[in-house]
Structure 1
Amino acid sequence: MGAKVSLRGCADYNPAGIKRVVQSAVEALGGIGAFVKTGETVLLKPNMLAPASPEKAVTTHPSVIRAVAELVLEAGGKPFIGDSPAVPGFKHLCKATGIAGVAEKLGIPVVELAKSAEYKQGDKKLFRILEISEMAMEADRIINLPKLKTHSQMFLTLGVKNIFGCVVGARKAQWHFKAGMDRMFFARMLVGLYHAVSPDLTILDGVIGMEGDGPGTSGVPRNCGVVAASSDAVALDRVILEILGATPEQMYTIQAARETGVGETDLSKIEISGEPLEFFRVENFAFPPKIGKVPFGPPMVRRFILNHLTAKPKEARDKCTLCNKCVNICPTEVISVKNERLKFDYDKCIRCYCCVEVCPEGAMRPTEPMLLRITG
């Protein structure tokens, strides 16, 4: 056995209870002292997608962040909370999510990862050059704190995908533009990024996860009742897939990790600490709606696939407030406002669903064309 994943059941976010659960999960991996030494700076990297309140399950719950920060402080470490959200208004986001309150109570910094630098990797199977937050790479230790959520483009966002927050601001849009509709290209980039950042420990908040049209406010909170921890986020993601009743073939980052040899994707080689997997199974978990096929072939064929076999982002007019967040985030600039309505150039849309992610009203959803619904 190589990789080890610690699973613990947890019913709610009561601070004392969540602290015991997180501590127990980490103890099974050798305790916090195995990951943090006295005097070391420790980046706590939560999911800070958008300024949504904790009960909406859009971001890592502040009680989980607080529990981990307290463990780091008790080990003599110097924790700071950091992320680089895709949307502006970092201070507002921190306040809305409850993360600012945690930082204030514990007297620790919460920072926006704003400056990036080039980092090179020697492995030919991985992306050779990546631009990553300097602050993240300069931290002595990184503890990755993802949220269990669905993801319209990548199926799920768990441990590996959460490291995309170490790519600074506008660089995220550039990667979406470069990947276009090739989800495996994007997954390989994410796996390469995870390998480069190499978080020391990943602790997943799956107490209340998200199903449906995640990862933003269009998703639906779902009681999953689990906290997971591992030094291998790939192995952790593979175990969570099993709990939710999905297969590795459904998740692009697991496929990419298998191709590149990053992390452990073979469930039979992963040691599980805690109750057996059956104890944590989530029945009838609602995965994202089908988003269809990646266009290929001659232009005429590509256009047909794009328009009839690929889900389109579309707004619910009764919810849309024309806040322009979708317009500003779109990496291909195909969304505009005309006559007080959103207008989409679907021929140029790369189906990254960034607009769905950042909509604060939950007005944007991937909409399946009729032919996609019929053919499945």
Structure 2
Amino acid sequence: MFNIADTLHRWCREARPFALATVVDVHGSAPLPAGTSVAVDMDGNAVGSISGGCVEGAVYELCRQVLEEEGEPKRAWFGYSDDDAFAVGLTCGGELDVLVQRIDPATQPHLAVAFDEVRRGRPTAVAQIVNGPEELLGRTSCVLGDVDTAHATLDDGEVDRTVTDQAAALLRAGRTARVEVGGDADTCPEKLSILVHVHASRPRMLIFGAVDFAAALSRIGHLLGYRVTVCDARPVFATADRFPEADDVVVDWPHQYLERTQVDARTAICVLTHDAKFDIPLLRLALDLPVGYVGAMGSRRTHDERLHRLREAGVPEARLARLRSPIGLDLGARTPEETAVSITAEIISHANHATGLPLSDSTGPIHGPRVRRQADGRSTPYLAARVGVDR
């Protein structure tokens, strides 16, 4: 639902009832992830998309029906059909499970709070019951990440406490996901499936070394939605004019800056200095932090020398195994721009636990389990799944 937060915030402020259609589960190569929504107001105005156009007409009609009937939420399933060329379905071959419900802002004021937090760029989660008893289906609560507190309730009991804890964890990870709660006779006998919509602050990309490669990497990092910081101890190089796409340009010794800045499991640290007096204290610290990616630029020889120095500094092998060096995927990159593509490609691949191999070398769904063809013709399955910190 956060994909249309601006419009929903306005409708909530105006106390305008609307129907909300939300993708609550995805199978196969569906075009948009769980948590994506379409909304339709009483005047027939629509906002958002859940399929890139394949099933929008059918979803729109379901929304109008829910608004007119003022009844219980409805479920709809959209897949691919070979039997009828005119049937409503997904041309990509994926499957969507969609929940359509009526939202009356007057009875759910916490949603206006959540959408306002999203507009302000603050971490926010909305928990939405997507499977369970009919009287609970579609019920929502929200968790504000900056204060870690819940607004509104799902059951005034153990479910709220459990969902608040899980929502806070998903906020820290920056990930929308479904959680299963209940099924315990002593706390909540009904088993509930809850979709936690997460809007997190932008993930951070920390680039150390104010070089030409850093300028190109900061541009691509900005394009990918990172909050980019460039840090270098040399003030003549670390200037805002040289890095206009960076959110922050810091003049400081890299390890000293890293010691005092905030990182999380989505943070990517890119060390481009390949100078031992900067690299070793910086990497020694970075490899001990709960970040998602640590990469360092340099030749094979530089890499070997760097590992030797890090071992002498007492960094254990388990930590050294986290280091992506030489940084980037093998794309044959030479220019700063090509190198930046190589680095960000590795960051994306690493975050999704993917191989980085051409899709044409695999079979099966693009998003999810796939089969890689080996040189001898055999098939090897591999899984592309989002992971958290790799420590």
TM-score by length of 1: 0.27
Greater C-alpha Rg:
2
Specify which structure has the bigger relative contact order, considering alpha-carbon pairs within 8 angstroms and separated by 6 or more residues.
1
TM-score by length of 2: 0.26
Structure that is richer in helix per residue: 1
